[in-house]
Amino acid sequence: MRNDGMGVLSRGTIITLIAISFIFALAVGSAIFILEETKDDGNKDLVIYAYESFVTYGLAEAVIPAFEELYDVNVSIHTPGDMGVVLSQLELEKGDPKADIVIGVDNSMLHKAVSLNLLEPYTPLNIERLDPTFAFDPDHFIVPFDYGYIAMICNGSMMEERGIPFPTSVLDLANPVYDGQILLLDPAQSSTGSSFMIWAGTVAGEDHQGYFNGLADNANGKMFGSWDVMYALWGEGEAPIAISYGLDTAYEKMWFGTANTVTIVPEDEGYRQIEGAGMVKGANDPDLAKKFLDFILTDTFQEQVYNNYMLPVVPSTPIDPAFQEYGVFAEDHVEPTLPDLEENYEDWMDSWRNAFFGQD
């Protein structure tokens, strides 16, 4: 659990420190996070590729040492970028992978990982612990470990100062009233961005090209490949609206006792991003990789997913009271099934590219 003393720092200071840390990591080539190393020869038993927030928001630090102790092994975590970048790295290494596990492949990007033949299926021994409503992959290439609602987050003070109405539907973001007021994520690089594109494309339906065109006009080029970077800039006032998660207001309440963030998840437009982990095809240590996939459904792991500001997928896991009180959820969900996603994803992506980059 995080030190409560963090509350004495301003949110802007904390976000700035996160951004500085990320930029430094990029400067040295890639963010490589080694949680523990005890072997004299420097070899690791299990290598994990993950998205940046798995490390920067503390989930890795909370769970990996427990796995190391449980199996008397060493783990290294590499974060080449957001999930689109991670999958590209795995594609480059296909046939001679450096990783055993990839963590963070979600229901918006599974089809890409499977089509590229990057994963080896595995059904965990404790799969019955998983809430079946989150079992989006019937072939078990990915084992879910947490989930969260994609949300529109608004800086309440900036919205009031600029006289901007709060959006009530994801479709509102294409309204010219939001010109220059939005920060977006690149769906080709970011799993959050991919989830948002799917969410918006599903709600927009046949008119998704027109919607994406309006969204691109309003974004004015403010689209980022990393949620960490986008969130840091949003926190510093780059724009009043960004794409994030339904627990953002709860996050502020937990650590600062107050919240200026208005988190919006339309009740009839819920999109759940379900994150998972999978075994890399050709993993160097498949037996240990399978143990890790069993591990993510244990109480030891599930009770710590709040560090990721997401929700557990095992129903018996306690939920932080702040999440229950201040989290924003939806009654009705619009996320497509995997076959629907496979059928429509490239159409949405082509329309997105056409809107933002002028190309099909």
What CATH code is carried by the domain that includes residue 337? 3.40.190.10
* Spatial contact of 207 and 357, defined as CB atoms under 8 Å apart: no
Q: Give the tokens for residue 64.
A: 């990996």
- What is the pLDDT, as a whole number, of residue 116? 96
* 152 in the same domain as 139: no
> pLDDT class for 257, splitting at 50, 70, 90?
confident
- What is the pLDDT, as a whole number, of residue 255? 81
* 143 in the same domain as 158: no
* 345 in the same domain as 207: yes
pLDDT digits (tens, 9 = 90+) for 129-155: 999 999 999 999 999 999 999 999 999
C-alpha 183 chain-centroid distance: 16
* 13 in the same domain as 112: yes
Report yes or no on 324 lying in a domain. Answer: no
Is the pLDDT reported for residue 212 higher than 60? yes
Nearest in space to 286 (alpha carbons), one of 51, 120, 148, 73: 120
Report yes or no on 61 lying in a domain. Answer: yes
Q: How far is CA 8 from CA 4, 11, 13, 281, 327, in A?
A: 8, 9, 10, 45, 23
Give pTM, 2 decimals: 0.85
Query: Taking residues 221-243, what's their average pLDDT?
Result: 95
Report yes or no on 53 lying in a domain. Answer: yes
| Euclidean distance between CA atoms 54 and 198, whole angstroms | 22
The residue ranges of DSSP E strands in 54-190, in sequence order, are 75-79, 101-106, 119-120, 143-155, 182-185
Which domain range does residue 115 map to?
Answer: 4-147+274-319
Query: Taking residues 306-332, what's their average pLDDT?
Result: 93
Pairing of strands 143-155, 241-245: antiparallel
* 281 in the same domain as 235: no
